[in-house]
């Protein structure tokens, strides 16, 4: 017996997305979540790369706090290099990337590594605290005092990412060291959960004794709320004397493992996911096609038509040959003129509340694109 986590984890594609670009890891000494981005550029490969790199290196994970910090940085840089190599060998993968949030146990506390907008929460004595800061455009506005956290939660540009592991730019990772006491509960999640479920609900569910039930309940609530994105949940309780339960991965990292090894999924995992499949079927049947169509008609997002940034009415998905969106306004902003981060985000589709919000986002992207010279404030059409 040694100090560490007792943990549970699961990942779900959600109701709207066709593939799962999330990945997660649960182990005695390390918990992690990665949310891939890039859509057709294979965000699931990026998220799987960072989670599998961590999982493969668990046997060499040190215990001294400073050494744990270096180990995390090395793992992230290795994943970053792997993604960069994929992009170098296949230009179509340009724009892929992933968030990264991890908790690592050391001899003298916990080391947090964080990039992007996945989140880590701690529940201690009934108080829920967010331990990470989102690397997003709206969080930057919050930090500047221009909008409130409540406004950020519903802001139409809340999905614009400022940092990620993308294989191209230098990795800038937040490293935080915190104390830990026995009984501390930690939640690591992709924004598929935090963007849908309130902190009050998270706190109540996270307070429940059964970790596995807490994970399944959070995912169930997300699905019931429409689950417009993939959702990954990792919950761990720190204990001074914890038994090693055997590390496991979920989401894209699990799917890639099955593809490479060409082995069937273990029976225990089939049972674990079975209730989720049934729930999704029940939700779809319960909502009905008419209600679903009405909901889709009220959705808007900013994406790309392949060449120019475009505002769409609907959702960025299709059913067979039938697209569930239509272009409403094609801008003069070429995708090539965007920064790498903005390009990857837009290619995945950024949800907005209305056509007017989409137009506002176009203005922001135009000002941030290479069509404008920040030194002179002159822009070219």
The predicted-structure confidence for 317-376, as pLDDT tens digits, reads as follows: 766 666 788 888 888 788 888 887 788 888 888 888 888 888 889 888 888 776 654 444
Please determine, for residue 142, whether its predicted confidence score (pLDDT) is greater than 80. Answer: yes
Residue 320 shares a structural domain with residue 230:
no
Select the more confidently predicted residue: 41 or 8: 8
Number of domains in the chain: 2
Secondary structure letter of residue 91 according to DSSP: G
pLDDT at 131: 98
Q: What is the rounded distance in angstroms from the CA atom of residue 360 to the CA atom of residue 189?
A: 29
Sign of CA pseudo-dihedral 104, 185, 222, 275? positive
* Chain mean position to CA 12: 12
Residue 106 shares a structural domain with residue 12:
yes
Q: Where in the sequence is the domain holding 329, given as residue range(s)?
A: 300-379
Average model confidence (pLDDT) for the chain?
84
Residue 254 shares a structural domain with residue 354:
no
Please determine, for residue 380, whether its predicted confidence score (pLDDT) is greater than 50. Answer: no
| CB atoms near residue 232 (< 10 Å) | 31
Residue 256 shares a structural domain with residue 305:
no
Has this prediction a pTM greater than 0.75?
Answer: no
Select the more confidently predicted residue: 316 or 271: 316
Q: Does residue 181 sit within a domain?
A: yes
């Amino acid at each position: 017996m040694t100090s560490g986590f007792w943990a549970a984890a699961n990942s779900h594609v959600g109701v709207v997305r066709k593939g799962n670009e999330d990945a997660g890891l649960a182990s005695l000494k390390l918990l992690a979540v990665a949310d891939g981005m890039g859509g057709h550029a294979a965000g699931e490969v990026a998220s799987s790369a960072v989670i599998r790199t961590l999982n493969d290196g668990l046997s060499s994970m040190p215990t001294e706090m400073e050494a744990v910090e270096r180990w995390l940085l090395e793992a992230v840089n290795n994943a970053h290099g792997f993604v960069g190599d994929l992009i170098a060998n296949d230009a179509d993968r340009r724009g892929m990337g992933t968030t990264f949030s991890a908790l690592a146990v050391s001899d003298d506390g916990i080391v947090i590594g964080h990039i992007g907008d996945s989140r880590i929460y701690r529940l201690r004595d009934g108080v829920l605290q967010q331990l990470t800061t989102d690397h997003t455009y709206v969080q930057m506005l919050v930090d500047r005092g221009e909008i409130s956290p409540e406004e950020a939660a519903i802001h139409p540009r809340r999905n614009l990412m400022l940092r990620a592991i993308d294989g191209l730019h230098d990795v800038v990772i937040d490293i935080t060291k915190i104390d830990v006491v026995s009984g501390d509960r930690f939640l690591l999640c992709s924004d598929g959960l935090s963007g849908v479920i309130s902190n009050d609900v998270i706190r109540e569910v996270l307070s429940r004794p059964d970790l596995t039930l807490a994970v399944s309940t959070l995912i169930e609530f997300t699905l019931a709320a429409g689950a417009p994105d993939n959702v990954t949940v990792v919950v761990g309780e720190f204990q001074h004397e914890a038994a090693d339960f055997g590390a496991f991965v979920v989401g894209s990292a699990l799917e890639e493992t099955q593809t490479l090894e060409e082995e069937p999924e273990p029976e225990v995992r089939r049972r674990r996911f079975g209730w989720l499949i049934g729930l999704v079927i029940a939700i779809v049947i319960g909502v009905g096609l008419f209600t679903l169509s009405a909901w889709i008609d009220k959705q808007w997002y900013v994406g790309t038509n392949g060449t120019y940034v475009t505002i769409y009415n609907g959702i960025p998905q299709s059913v067979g040959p039938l697209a569930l969106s239509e272009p409403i306004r094609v801008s003069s902003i070429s995708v090539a003129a965007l920064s790498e981060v903005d390009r990857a985000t837009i290619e995945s589709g950024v949800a907005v509340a209305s056509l007017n919000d989409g137009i506002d986002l176009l203005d922001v992207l135009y000002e941030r694109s290479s069509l404008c010279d920040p030194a002179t404030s002159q822009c070219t059409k």
